[in-house]
Chains A and B, each alone.
Chain A
């Protein structure tokens, strides 16, 4: 990359062009989904793969569980084939929005925010609440005991935000249940905030038998099947809604629950009673009214009350209504703090990675040039380091090595430290190569050349273009830390999108923020280079 031409410089025009591209990229929705489903003869349903016994993989890698059973029955009644797709809490509504799946049946709690993002179908088919899993002897008797403590959580859970605000939890949000489990196991948090239905599946695992659920369930929320937001009041919504109503009346859901060995839930019993209740004059209480809606007493009462809105939030919501731009990071204090602390973390990561990469790079070059018997080893390590994908290295160190260290020594490392270490290692290797190449050039020029602390600056100056290219790359790559739940910009943005559904706004904000950060770093390096050249003259 030593042939890199031109300086890193970005005209204002190009920045505007980026903003324009960002704004123009929109989305198109398909008209009438039910027609599409019937035309293709397949219903595509998103279910969980990591939530036994609601959605899991069997020995052959097939998706099974209570929710896949519901999906199968749904497809049968619609007269089409079924295709199951594994989704996670983070991407289920996203996949729905982008049209990759028709229906989500994936432990989705029914909340007002989610009703903004997707069409949630009533009647609800199940219910769950928030609880915690804690190791034995955690000494938790009330939720207030968790105040200010590090609590692991799984991204996308509907209660994460409210519980964090209510009990002032220091949430460590991970990408999937596997990652969260490992984090709790390795002592990265005192407890895991999770769904009580999910906890049932986990405590069934003999490895987890000693763990407990010391606190009562909070925020009990019904689950809803979801279809795309554009499908509100569509034939698809009506069809699914009628099918679920029929399941409740026949008690089929209770049977399905029993089939999977789940403790009978109060919600299903109550709902069945309500939906099979008859009016004094004959006929059911829960039948569609003239306007096609279910009667109020059969609907989700929690969601019928309007949320109180005032002040800055009111203005924000007004902008949202008029323009469709939902800048929650401006008017919503929680989202704003999340985003700003993400920005701060990203800045720290960038700075630490630059320093770490340079330090490792210089150290490697000094060792290789001055300690002859280590030279071969350094060169081999560099080849290996440069050919290990940094993301894979992060996983290896965080989960693999991190777990070994915890079990043997009881030390836990912060995710951000591990990300900085791995990214610096990868980039450091590139820098060592560049410095050694520069040394070779200098040796050609003056045979007696030997790299030391004194002439390190001149070698750095010679290798400047390659070193800077490597450092700019590591700055761009800091987002990878999001893969191990480091709360940086990408983590913050995706968490906000999962909660608010404002993907277009947040992704553009994220892109532009990152772009500007990279630009500032590049400008800084250009400035430094001018200073360096000036100093050399």
Chain B
């Protein structure tokens, strides 16, 4: 297959694949939103004065850390209905939402740990160190974007599923390597700039923290 042909095929299928990648981002953002909400509650509870609450929160955090999201994905796919009826109204529970929910479990543990540290800094009048949570959160989003590709195994039409559709439609095994490599470039194109920028923000914040007179060492 001539290179020009390969490029042509990739261009033809770009809107389809790009649309799939938007699903990856949507799934990741929803996972982050759900996970952050629950994780924040856990982090807040860990700062509670009541020992029982602190301990319970820590136990839940550890529980979420031990749940393998990939297995949980299958778990939700197999054991939750796609449609359910509440008082005559039919609601859908689409596969992409199941994927987001499975991924959010990992986010809960991350947010609980990191926000706990940030909140402590905040209370100790060290807001700059607390702000470090923002670059960490964004970098974790990138990890979740990476993991969102696993949604393909439960039939979500995201970029990896769509790669397989493209390969099936185009035929020819030579194309396979290029389609997958092209999909990888989407992840790289999205993650690299964000990762770089957040790395800079983090460095900047760390420098400010160590320079600030009231600042305490972060670790």
> Interface on A for B, CB 8 Å cutoff?
1-6, 8-11, 13-14, 17-18, 25, 27-28, 30, 36, 40, 50, 57, 61, 91, 94-95, 98-100, 178, 182, 185, 383-384, 387-393, 395-396, 399-401, 403-404, 472, 475-477, 479-480, 482-483, 490, 493-494, 497, 503-504, 507, 510-511, 514-515, 518-519, 522
Q: Are A400 and B176 in contact (CB under 8 A)?
A: yes
Chain B residues at the A interface, C-beta cutoff of 8 Å: 58-63, 65-72, 74-75, 77-85, 90, 110, 113-114, 116-117, 132, 136, 142, 146-150, 152-153, 155, 160, 163-165, 167-169, 173, 176-177, 180-181, 183-184, 187-188, 191-192, 195, 218-219
Neighbouring B residues of A476 by C-beta, 8 Å: 68-71
Given contacts A387-B187, A507-B79, contact A18 B63 (CB under 8 A): yes
Contact between B65 and A391 (Cβ–Cβ < 8 Å)? Answer: no
With contacts A99-B82, A518-B68 taken as known, whether A391 is within 8 angstroms of B61 at the C-beta atoms is: no
| Residue contact B82 to A400, C-beta cutoff 8 Å | no
Write out the residue numbers on chain B whose beta carbons fall within 8 Å of the beta carbon of A388. Answer: 146, 184, 187-188
**Neighbouring A residues of B84 by C-beta, 8 Å:** 28, 30, 99
Chain A residues positioned under 8 Å from B163 (CB to CB): 392, 395
Can you give 12 A-B contacts (C-beta < 8 A)? A3-B132, A17-B59, A25-B79, A27-B79, A61-B165, A98-B82, A182-B173, A389-B149, A392-B149, A392-B187, A403-B173, A511-B67
Residues of B within 8 A of A511 (CB): 67, 71-72, 75
Cβ contacts under 8 Å, B78 to chain A:
94, 497, 503, 507
A-B contact count (CB 8 A): 177
The answer on a CB contact under 8 Å between A490 and B65 is no
**Nearest chain A residue, comparing its CB with the CB of B189:** A387
A400→B177 contact, CB < 8 A: yes
Q: Which residues from B are CB-within-8-Å of A399?
A: 173, 176-177, 180
Q: Residue of A at shortest CB range from B136?
A: A3
Please name the residue on chain A nearest to B154 by beta carbon.
Answer: A91
Across the interface, do A99 and B75 meet the contact criterion of CB distance under 8 Å? no
Chain A residue with Cβ nearest B114:
A3
In whole angstroms, what is the CA distance A391 to B69 when docked? 13
Measured CB to CB, the closest approach of chain A to B193, in angstroms, equals 11
Nearest chain A residue, comparing its CB with the CB of B72: A511
Is A99 touching B83 in the complex (CB atoms < 8 A)?
yes
Known: A98-B82, A384-B188. A507 touches B74 (CB 8 A): yes
Contact status B67-A515, CB under 8 Å = yes
Report the minimal beta-carbon distance from B211 to chain A, rounded to whole angstroms. 15
User: What B residues does A472 contact at CB under 8 A?
Assistant: 65
Contacting residue for B117 out of A5, A11, A389, A510, CB 8 A: A5
Name the contact of B59 in the complex, choosing from A11, A393, A503 (C-beta under 8 A). A11
Q: Is the CB of B187 within 8 A of A2?
A: no
Report yes or no: B177 in contact with A99, Cβ–Cβ below 8 A.
no
Q: Nearest A residue to B150 by beta-carbon distance?
A: A391
A10 and B68 contacting across the interface, CB-CB below 8 Å: no
Bound complex: CA of A401 vs CA of B176, how far in Å?
9
Are B66 and A178 touching (Cβ within 8 A)?
A: no
Of the candidates B74, B113, B219, the one having the most CB atoms from chain A within 10 angstroms of its own CB is B74
Across the interface, B82 reaches (CB within 8 A) one of A100, A182, A475, namely: A100
Knowing A100-B82, A100-B83, A507-B74, say if A391 contacts B149 (CB, 8 Å).
yes
User: Hey, which chain B residues are within 8 Å of A403, CB to CB?
Assistant: 173, 176-177
B79 touches A391 (CB 8 A): no
State the CA gap A417–B113 with chains docked (Å).
34
Contact indicator A387/B74 (Cβ below 8 Å): no
CB of A36, distance to nearest CB on chain B (Å): 8
